[in-house]
Amino acid sequence: MKKILVAMSGGVDSAVTALLLQEQGFEVGGATMLLQPCGLAEAEGAKLSAAHMGIDFYLLDRQAEFRRAVIEPFKTVYRQGGTPNPCIFCNKALKFGAFLDEALRLGYDGIATGHYARVREENGRYLLCTAEDKTKDQTYMLYHLSQEQLGRVKFPMGEMTKEQARAKALDAKLPAAKKSDSQDICFIPDGDYLSFLIRDGLVPQTGRFLGPKGEDLGPHKGLEAYTMGQRRGLDVAYGERIYVVGKQGTDVLLGSNEDLMRSRVFVEDVNFIPFDSLTAPIRGQAKLRYTPTAAPCTIYPAKGGVILEFDAPQRAVTPGQAAVFYDGGLVLGGGTISSKDEDTL
């Protein structure tokens, strides 16, 4: 690849990504996808960084696609009682879907992002590997990438630490050098997802709290307001600590911490990276949420997905979240945690 279009968010990681590729001799351009009106400020920051490096810059309006591919599925999963990860929706449909398509249309050979991850080619297949800086590794968000996408993407940040990236940005006097990292869902900056859902037209599904023995513990404020393992904000008088342990129709099930532990997890909509499909059980590790550590497990092929059998029970397994499978630093693949019960292997 000679020409690379960098997805620039206005932050330091994507700006350093463009700088590194420029130093490596690539013909670099920068682009920001406008996903919502408030994103114009970030786009302006990205434009300043691009101008500082003397590279072409494009503003791509993808607000309609963002609503269709991210916000609407986000609402749907909540309506179904799950807890979605909208960043994965966005990466799949927009950052590595529509963005790559636009880059190719503009005459670029591939794209780059500021994600902390690595890609290597082995025996004619592209592999996704964890970043050098394990505390910043973002492969959990990238398990869905296809061979075509992996063959056309570069992740320069995968070889750096955050401290090294910040230092390089400061040395190069990049406008984004001192910008702080974003932590929240981009379209819910205050973190109050329930208020967002209501403002966006969702009517909370009311029901009852059901206790460990099925007893009625009173009404709740809406199915969408609760997630697995939640203890705070329940407003239920009970003689011991009690947690959200499941959902049944529009009712929210409450129980003990022990009720949250599960050893078997059914995962659907699975994508594998080193191979096309799983035909026999394999050993590996899996993450059930965006954390630095993965837990040892056996991965079994199953109808419609895979079953994870963990060596030790896992807490608060949450339908709608991603389960991502690893073999050490190699990403095997991943999928979506299902609310379905799977009793047979």
pLDDT in tens, 129-162: 999 999 999 999 999 999 999 999 999 999 999 9
Cα dihedral angle (79, 85, 87, 90), rounded to 10 degrees?
Answer: -40
Q: How many other C-beta atoms lie within 10 A of the C-beta of residue 282?
A: 16
How would you classify the pairing of strands 330-337 and 153-154?
A: unpaired
Gap between the Cα atoms of 249 and 216, Å rounded: 14
Q: Which fold has domain 261-337?
A: Elongation Factor Tu (Ef-tu); domain 3 (2.40.30)
Instruction: Compute the distance between CA of residue 136 and CA of residue 291 in angstroms, rounded to an integer.
Output: 10
Lowest mean pLDDT among 39-43, 113-117, 215-219, 340-344: 340-344
**Known catalytic residue at 297:** no
pTM: 0.94
Identify residue 129 by its one-letter amino acid code. Answer: C
Cα–Cα distance measured from residue 85 to residue 287, given in angstroms and rounded to the nearest whole number? 14
- The domain defined by 3-171 folds into Rossmann fold (3.40.50)
Give 147's contacts (C-beta < 8 A, 6+ positions apart): 125, 126, 273
pLDDT of residue 237: 87
pLDDT at 344: 41
Q: Which two tokens stand for residue 72?
A: 């609407």
pLDDT at 345 > cutoff 80: no
- Pick the catalytic residue: 87, 90, 129, 297? 90
Q: Spell out the domain ranges in the chain.
A: 3-171, 204-256, 261-337
Per-residue pLDDT band at 288 (split at 50, 70, 90)? very high
pLDDT tens digit string along 52-83? 999 999 999 999 999 999 999 999 999 999 99
Using DSSP bridges, classify how beta strands 330-337 and 322-327 pair: parallel, antiparallel or unpaired: antiparallel
129 is catalytic: no
End-to-end CA distance of the chain: 44
pLDDT recorded at residue 58: 98
Confidence at residue 340, expressed as pLDDT on a 0 to 100 scale: 77
54 DSSP 8-state letter = T
Catalytic, out of 38, 87, 129, 186: 186
Residue 60: partners with Cβ closer than 8 Å, 6 or more residues away: 31, 32, 33, 34, 98, 99, 102
Residue 210 sits at φ, ψ, to 5 deg, of -115, 130
